[in-house]
Amino acid sequence: MEAVGVVTAVGPGLTGRQVGDVVGYGGNPMGSYTEEQILPAEKVVPVPSSIEPIVAASVLLKGMTAQFLVCRCFKVEPGHTVLVHAAAGGVGSLLCQWANALGATVIGTVSIQEKAAQAKEDGCHHVIIYKEEDFVTRANEITSCKGVEVVYDSVGKDPFQVMFILS
């Protein structure tokens, strides 16, 4: 759970933050339900005025999820090939960008052509429209049947009858 709020006080000697700043915080989930909270300055991020607070809060959650997946659940490294289901979604989009930036080859699945364009823009090297072609067959073609190092699925439901395990 993320929170975005306005700084109401700053501790002594602290620089870089001031009363009135809008900041986001992705730490203690219960803190998001409080009216006021004391936070360590290094745990908050500034929110630009061009970003609505509700958008900033949701991006924090998606960003933390993507970071956890590519850096902790499975450490994506240069040369890896990753498959991202729902590549044009919130988490999927960030996963594609992050994995690409880490030097991985990114294969993304999407449902329609418009989302394919978005996935490409977000760093997918290969995009599979799963309603038009079998993603397992296509992923095997892309990887010359070597498979991928990791599959990320942020769909949240069961759109595929068959999942595959690649080593």
C-alpha–C-alpha distance, residues 52 and 153, integer Å: 28
What pLDDT does residue 30 have?
52
Q: Which CATH architecture has domain 75-153?
A: 3-Layer(aba) Sandwich (3.40)
What pLDDT does residue 48 have?
84
Cβ neighbours around 117 below 10 Å, total: 13
CB 1 within 8 A of CB 25: no
Q: Where are the domains of the chain?
A: 3-51, 75-153
Q: HEC string of the chain?
A: CCEEEECCCCCCCCCCCCCCCEEEECCCHHHHHCCCCCCCHHHEEECCCCCCHHHHHHHHHHHHHHHHHHHHHCCCCCCCEEEEECCCCHHHHHHHHHHHHCCCEEEEEECCHHHHHHHHHCCCCEEEECCCCCHHHHHHHHCCCCCCCEEEECCCCCCCCCCCCCC
User: pLDDT, tens digit, for every residue of 95-129?
Assistant: 999 999 999 999 999 999 999 999 999 999 999 99
Q: Which amino acid is at 69?
A: L
What pLDDT does residue 167 have?
34
What pLDDT does residue 141 have?
96
C-alpha–C-alpha distance, residues 54 and 47, integer Å: 11
Question: pTM of the prediction?
Answer: 0.69
What pLDDT does residue 159 have?
47
Could you read off the pLDDT tens digit of each residue along the chain, which spans 167 residues?
467 888 888 888 888 888 998 888 766 545 566 777 888 888 788 888 888 888 887 777 788 889 889 999 999 999 999 999 999 998 999 999 999 999 999 999 999 999 999 999 999 999 999 999 999 999 999 999 999 999 998 775 554 444 444 43
User: pLDDT, tens digit, for every residue of 131-141?
Assistant: 999 999 999 99
